[in-house]
Structure 1
Amino acid sequence: MGPIFKDRHDAAQRLAPRIKAALRAGEKPIILALPRGGVPLAAVIATQLDAPLDLVLVRKLGLPSQPELAVGAVTDGAQPNLEINAEVAQAAGLSDADIAALAEPALAEIARRRALWLGGRSPLGLSGKVAVVVDDGIATGASMRAALRWLRTQGAVRVIVAIPVAPATALSTITALADQLICLETPHPFRAVGAHYTDFPQVSDAEVSAALRAQDQGPRHRPP
């Protein structure tokens, strides 16, 4: 099976009408990207929905011997949420303490990225809001699960996950944590997320910062 999407912009264009259809009358969502790959999609969707854009700062914890394989993920915050892929951890012989140790440099990297991408920009308040969480795809789902658990602690009243592509096996746990899941394609066999795009470049720090600045300077108003 060849690539499904031309690039992230193409995927966002296909997701946007599905998200619009999922919103209830009068709902004013906040679009939240999982950086960095989710930011280009979320920026397009935020513009089309005339909605504010923000980030969920989450960091995948790769196996030391295989960094692309997530043994878990951790989110930013006063009480960071650590999500563990139990099967991967068990196969690798890693204890909870081992994974907590892996999270320490990840949290330091999240802090660095917060300063770089957001500067002094305050996060949008999520209490009582509808949150639409966007990424360019899901592989194991660890980062998304960590993001969704964190969102619940922030008081979001409804959480919609919107992704272009994922393996069907990863979606059951996502469905359990979200109020609604929009996934355009579940190819089988599933390869790496980028294999389902014709053009899938790395998203730079500068692109993330620029996307946030562009949304802040646009005609929409940030919610109180």
Structure 2
Amino acid sequence: MTNRPFPDRAEAGKLLAERLMHCAGRQDVLVLGLARGGLPVAFEIARALAARLDVLVVRKIGLPGQPELAMGAIAPAGVRVLNTAIIRSYQISDATVDAVAQAELQELERREQLYRTGRPAAPIRDQQVIVVDDGLATGATMRAALMYLREQQPARLIVAIPVAAPAVFAVLRMICDERVSLLTPDPFHSVGFWYEDFSQTTDAQVQQLLERAAPWQ
């Protein structure tokens, strides 16, 4: 017997899609999955809504020695969000933050080229944009994504996530137009705690999902 709410990311996406059916049937809906783990969730939402699907590459700026702990995050177009409390607490220098951010920028650019294979990013302006990840712990990558997207002037920004830390989910209210989450558990533990299968999403899987979505784009 399973005691986790989500068997895997795809099933989480199907459940989340049920909460987003008010967006179905619209021509201006774009579902953006944060690479890499957000793509399997976003794919199921886009399929259920018959909406366009695209990928948004956002990278965590991990703490040296503890890369899963976010000092901040970067998004395209030079967008950077910093977690000043973490940086101060661990006494991280500006030079160290810049060095880690630069390395992550190179990885961001590599992934964008790999996933797009020459295909331009979907237009954001005047669209109903649903931004999807597999879960929110610190929220750094989502905040960077929303900051970047807001500059592109969408008509509406909707955040959709299967599971989120309660405090992080609360903060999102101030930086998006609508929030949808299936779980905001306290204690939160971690994103992976709520999944039976939380194995890493690969570059190849991201490419395959984007290709599978092509017929309804």
| Paired residues of 1:27 and 1:130 also in contact (CA < 8 A) | no
Q: For 1:98 and 1:182, how far apart are their aligned partners in 2?
A: 35
Shift of the alpha carbon at 1:101? 2.6
1:6-155 mapped onto 2 (5 Å cutoff): 6-21=7-22, 23=23, 26=26, 28-77=28-77, 80-155=78-153
Q: Which deviates more from structure 2 when the two are superposed, residues 120-129 or residues 166-175? A: 166-175
User: What amino acid does structure 1 have at the position aligned with 2:10?
Assistant: H
What is the distance in 1 between the residues matched to 2:212 and 2:92? Answer: 42
Letter in structure 2 aligned against 1:58: V
User: Structure 1 vs Structure 2: percent identity of aligned residues?
Assistant: 40
C-alpha distance 172-97 of structure 1, shift in aligned 2 (>3 A) = farther
Once residues 53 and 26 of structure 2 are traced to their aligned partners in structure 1, the CA distance between those partners, rounded to angstroms, is: 18
Q: Structure 1 residue 94: deviation in Å? A: 2.1
Q: Deviations over 1:138-191 (max 9, x none)?
A: 010000000000001111110000000011011222111100000110111111
Cα shift at 1:26: 4.7
2:74 is paired with a residue whose SS is strand
Alpha-carbon distance in 1 for matches of 2:27, 2:114: 31
The amino acid of 1:155's aligned partner reads: Q
- Mapped contact 2:25–2:50 kept (Cα < 8 A): no
Structure 1 residues 27 and 52: CA distance shift in structure 2, 3 A: closer
TM-score between the two structures when normalised by the length of structure 2:
0.94
Q: Any unmatched runs of 5+ in structure 2?
A: none
Measured on the aligned residues, the alpha-carbon RMSD in Å equals 1.7
Question: Scaled by the length of structure 1, what TM-score is found?
Answer: 0.91
Q: CA offset at residue 95 of structure 1?
A: 4.1
Q: Give the Cα–Cα distance (whole angstroms) in 2 for the partners of residues 88 and 4 of structure 1.
A: 30
1:3 deviates by 1.9
Q: Distance in 2 between matches of 1:140 and 1:198?
A: 21
Deviations 1:108-140 (A, max 9, x none): 001111111111010011111110000000010
2:21 counterpart SS class = helix
Q: Which runs of 5+ in 1 are unaligned?
A: none
Shift of 1:195: 0.9
Opposite residue 12 of structure 2, the aligned amino acid is A
Aligned to 1:3: 4
Q: 2:212 is matched with which residue?
A: 214
